[in-house]
Amino acid sequence: MRTTTRIGAVTAALTVTAIALTGCASGSASSATTTAATTAATGPAVDLSGVCPATVVVQTDWNPEGDHGHLYQMLGANPTIDASGKKVTGDLVANGKPTGVKLEVRAGGPAIGYSKVSSQMYQDKSITLGYVSTDEAVSFSDKLPTTAVFAENDQSPMVIMWDPKTYPEVDSIKSLGKALEKKDGVVRYFNDAAYMSYLQDSGNLPKSVLDGSYDGTPSKFVSAGGKDAQQGFATAEPYVYQHQVPAWGKKISSALISSTGWNPYPETMSIRSGDKTELAPCLKALVPVMQQADVDYLTSPGATNDLITQLVQQYNNGWTYDSKVGAFAAEQMRKRGIATDGDNGYVGDMDEKRMSDFIAKATPVFSGSDGGMKEGLAPSDLYTNEFLDKSISLGF
């Protein structure tokens, strides 16, 4: 994913995995008959019409998937799908009721030429919010500053994965590195991944096992017969490789990269930093809606996953995804602590110390990058918790 996220280091992470789902794209707009909003918890009506744009536009960083479930959860009944434009638009719904504005969700990754979301947001000012992970925000903090207002997940789902039969004693990325050295195995990853620079410099993985030739397909992992490891996502590959890649067809083990100390907030809902004052009235009302949608999706993801599957089919751009993978994603977000309330007991917040620690770790990686880190970058430049409702909790 980007430097650690999907539009950079993982630009085509799962595009050719053997998932048995066929696309049926249409060049014109159509209406989806599946929506998650009808299953959302009931509650008071929320009126966004007086404070938010008539259409709240969100630019995602990848194709539709369960990791983005909270966002698609907010689409009301029968949204309009623009297959050629790779976007979907419908009523923005809170507590099962329209809020008076529309929500437009735009696919990222191949739909925007693998452009960084930060760059896309500054090129197209119609975008209200975009998915910007902390590492990307740090890297572009000078030229393309963004401010995160809601963290849908507390941990990144990105993992290093391996064959547990070949490496039965491995229980961490660091122990994997030592085991790979002994067997002349490698870790394949998308070249120029920032997190891999950190893993090497921090002593988690020796340089001798690094292989930046990963192309997003399972072929090299399968042909290695278990000797090699590979980057992946806890919310996808463990299920896909076991159930939908016949040439592998067995369990894999994995460890979150965040467990090593490289711990950016993934895919935070972010605004252009200069828009904060103008958008503040909208964000005060909208961010709690996003929080509740996150809770609703993880409580009952089925209908939203069906919508995501329908979008993938109609976009038909080589990405394959189905509701079974979506169900696995939601389960793993809960099971592996990817989605949590953090330390404060409410969903979506970000921690100042963690931000400060990440800036310190990321500075030697991103200093001098094309995006340009802001000199003297502080946590307050990257996020704010001020719009969150502290009463909204995942409850697990």
Query: Domain spans of the chain?
Result: 29-155+264-381, 158-260
- Give Cα separations from 266 to 135, 147, 150, 153, 393 (angstroms): 8, 13, 10, 7, 19
Degrees, nearest 5: CA angle 20-22-24: 165
The whole-number average pLDDT for the span 155-181 is 98
Judged against a pLDDT cut of 70, whether residue 17 lies above it is answered with no
For the CA atoms of 121, 127, 129, 130, what is the dihedral angle to 10 degrees? -40
Give dist(CA 354, CA 362) in Å, integer: 12
- State residue 369's pLDDT score: 57
Two structure tokens written together for 223: 């042909």
Report the side by side order of strands in the sheet with 80-82: 29-31, 80-82, 87-94, 97-106, 55-59, 129-132, 268-272, 146-150
Nearest Cα to Cα of residue 355 among 173, 197, 141: 141
- State residue 367's pLDDT score: 78
Q: How many CA atoms lie within 13 A of 77 on its CB side?
A: 6
- Give Cα separations from 326 to 234, 290, 312 (angstroms): 12, 19, 12
Band of residue 396 on the pLDDT scale cut at 50, 70, 90: confident
Judged against a pLDDT cut of 80, whether residue 231 lies above it is answered with yes
pTM of the model: 0.89
158-260 domain in CATH 3.40.190?
A: yes
Judged against a pLDDT cut of 90, whether residue 293 lies above it is answered with yes
- State residue 395's pLDDT score: 86
- State residue 33's pLDDT score: 56
The whole-number average pLDDT for the span 86-99 is 97
Domains 29-155+264-381 and 158-260 share a fold: yes
Judged against a pLDDT cut of 60, whether residue 7 lies above it is answered with no
- State residue 27's pLDDT score: 45
The whole-number average pLDDT for the span 205-230 is 96
Q: Which one-letter amino acid corresponds to residue 109? A: G
The better pLDDT of the pair 12, 322 is held by 322
For the CA atoms of 385, 390, 394, 396, what is the dihedral angle to 10 degrees? 100
Judged against a pLDDT cut of 50, whether residue 38 lies above it is answered with no
SS percent in the chain: helix, strand, coil, step 5? 35, 15, 50
- State residue 177's pLDDT score: 98
Give dist(CA 84, CA 29) in Å, integer: 8
- State residue 4's pLDDT score: 37
Give dist(CA 244, CA 280) in Å, integer: 45
Strands 129-132 and 268-272: antiparallel
Consecutive H or E run containing 255: strand 253-256
- State residue 6's pLDDT score: 40
Judged against a pLDDT cut of 60, whether residue 261 lies above it is answered with yes
Judged against a pLDDT cut of 80, whether residue 265 lies above it is answered with yes
Give dist(CA 207, CA 326) in Å, integer: 35
Judged against a pLDDT cut of 80, whether residue 97 lies above it is answered with yes
Judged against a pLDDT cut of 80, whether residue 29 lies above it is answered with no
Q: 52-92 pLDDT, tens per residue? A: 999 999 999 999 999 999 999 999 999 999 999 999 999 99
Give dist(CA 173, CA 180) in Å, integer: 10
- State residue 237's pLDDT score: 96
In the chain, % of residues over pLDDT 90: 83
The whole-number average pLDDT for the span 317-343 is 95
Would you say the C-alpha torsion 354, 1, 251, 174 has a positive or negative sign? negative
The whole-number average pLDDT for the span 114-120 is 95
- In the numeric block, the tokens 């109609």 are attached to 314
Nearest Cα to Cα of residue 363 among 380, 350, 376, 382: 376
Q: Which CATH architecture has domain 29-155+264-381?
A: 3-Layer(aba) Sandwich (3.40)
- What burial class does residue 15 get, using C-beta atoms within 10 Å of its C-beta: 0-12 exposed, 13-18 middle, 19+ buried? middle
Average pLDDT, the chain: 90
Q: 333-357 pLDDT, tens per residue? A: 999 999 999 888 999 999 999 999 9
Give dist(CA 6, CA 366) in Å, integer: 17
Strands 268-272 and 146-150: antiparallel
Judged against a pLDDT cut of 50, whether residue 279 lies above it is answered with yes
